[in-house]
Amino acid sequence: MLVLVAPGQGAQTPGFLTPWLDLPGLSDTLRDWSAAVDLDLVHYGTKADADEIRDTAVAQPLLVAAGLLASAALGPEVRPDAVAGHSVGEITAAAFAGVLDETEALRFVRTRGLAMAEAAAVTETGMSAVLGGDPEQVLAHLERLGLTAANVNGAGQIVAAGTAEQLAALAADKPEKARVIALKVAGAFHTTHMAPAVSVLEATAHGLAPRDPSLRYVSNRDGKVVFSGTEIVDRLVGQVANPVRWDLCMETFRELGVTALLEVCPGGTLTGIAKRALPGVKTLALKTPADLDAARELVAEHTTG
């Protein structure tokens, strides 16, 4: 049983889409998507530097476009048993499952990125990864400092989010036996600091006509499989101001009997977590077109449909 997953913000690197645009038709596709969302995704995926693609309003549509390109390159015959995405990757997963079409997904994520960037500009906020330590002790420590556990990723990784002052206090006062690494993101995502973006996305969602998913869709909110397209969109709206529970998603993968996990471009982050948290599950990160043959072999070996 195979789950197809899409990474979240921070997975992007300068030029990561360059080799993908050498594949037939993908350059034209990305140009069409660029026009649809009024953002030069070709430039940002090939020539932009790290600072340019760190911008939330750029990074989010760029990541969703990358996942959709990788899926197109795999081919329409690839049908995973389940899909999931981390944070903004949930929008990619919604497109994989047919809840939104590609253009709807990209327009929705473009609005999301702009709204979250605007919300992040109100107060100086950010995020830091807390690696190691006892999870319960880490969560209690963050609460004492006024921080939110914005991403509970499993495998000994929790991402804290809050104001610059709160994160500075965390760096100076780390949880026992834990390391703290500041992340290169422009805001305290998945916290109450993002509440203004929720109202923007609620208005945008009224213009969508979501379909029920054609594949099992595993949600970040609680790790549950969601069968209603309308509920999935509702969850995508609220998700920006609520924690990502990737640990619960992986518990669901385990319960479903997942035997392989394939992460679309720019893969690596979620496969790294899965290697530690899901022993025995085969993993593959789809980083460049050179990985496509191995990805298709994994799909053929592990899909049950």
SS3 readout for the chain: CEEEEECCCCCCCCCCCHHHHHCCCHHHHHHHHHHHHCCCHHHHHHCCCHHHHHCHHHHHHHHHHHHHHHHHHHCCCCCCCEEEECCCHHHHHHHHCCCCCHHHHHHHHHHHHHHHHHHHCCCCEEEEEEEECCHHHHHHHHHHCCCEEEEEEECCEEEEEEEHHHHHHHHHCCCCCEEEEECCCCCCCCCHHHHHHHHHHHHHHCCCCCCCCCCEEECCCCCCEECCHHHHHHHHHHHCCCCECHHHHHHHHHHHCCCEEEECCCCCHHHHHHHHHCCCCEEEECCCHHHHHHHHHHHHHHCCC
100: domain CATH number is 3.40.366.10
Q: How large is the average pLDDT for residues 1-9?
A: 96
Is residue 43 annotated as part of the catalytic site, yes or no? no
Asked whether residue 305 is domain-assigned, the answer is: no
> What is the pLDDT, as a whole number, of residue 144?
97
Q: How many domains does the chain have?
A: 2
Q: How confident is the model at residue 236 (pLDDT cuts 50, 70, 90)?
A: very high
Same structural domain, 167 and 207: no
Domain end (from 154, 182, 210): 182
Q: What percent of the chain has pLDDT over 90?
A: 96
Is 78 a residue whose pLDDT tops 90? Answer: no
Same structural domain, 116 and 10: yes
Among 87, 128, 141, 193, the one annotated catalytic: 87
Asked whether residue 304 is domain-assigned, the answer is: no
Same structural domain, 94 and 154: no
Same structural domain, 21 and 57: yes
> What is the pLDDT, as a whole number, of residue 19?
97
Asked whether residue 31 is domain-assigned, the answer is: yes
Same structural domain, 202 and 93: yes
Among 141, 190, 193, 302, the one annotated catalytic: 190
Asked whether residue 88 is domain-assigned, the answer is: yes
Same structural domain, 11 and 57: yes
Model confidence pLDDT, tens digit, residues 205-231: 999 999 999 999 999 999 999 999 999
> What is the pLDDT, as a whole number, of residue 301?
95
> What is the pLDDT, as a whole number, of residue 158?
97
Q: What percent of the chain has pLDDT over 70?
A: 100
Same structural domain, 17 and 164: no
Is residue 87 annotated as part of the catalytic site, yes or no? yes
178: domain CATH number is 3.30.70.250
Model confidence pLDDT, tens digit, residues 275-302: 999 999 999 999 999 999 999 999 999 9
> What is the pLDDT, as a whole number, of residue 186?
80
What is the rounded average pLDDT for all residues in the chain? 96
Is 77 a residue whose pLDDT tops 90? Answer: no
Domain end (from 163, 182, 201): 182
Domain range holding 74?
2-120+191-299
Same structural domain, 142 and 225: no
Q: How confident is the model at residue 99 (pLDDT cuts 50, 70, 90)?
A: very high
Same structural domain, 33 and 134: no
Asked whether residue 152 is domain-assigned, the answer is: yes
Same structural domain, 41 and 55: yes
Q: How large is the average pLDDT for residues 130-146?
A: 96
Same structural domain, 206 and 178: no
Model confidence pLDDT, tens digit, residues 162-182: 999 999 999 999 999 999 999
Same structural domain, 101 and 131: no
Asked whether residue 155 is domain-assigned, the answer is: yes
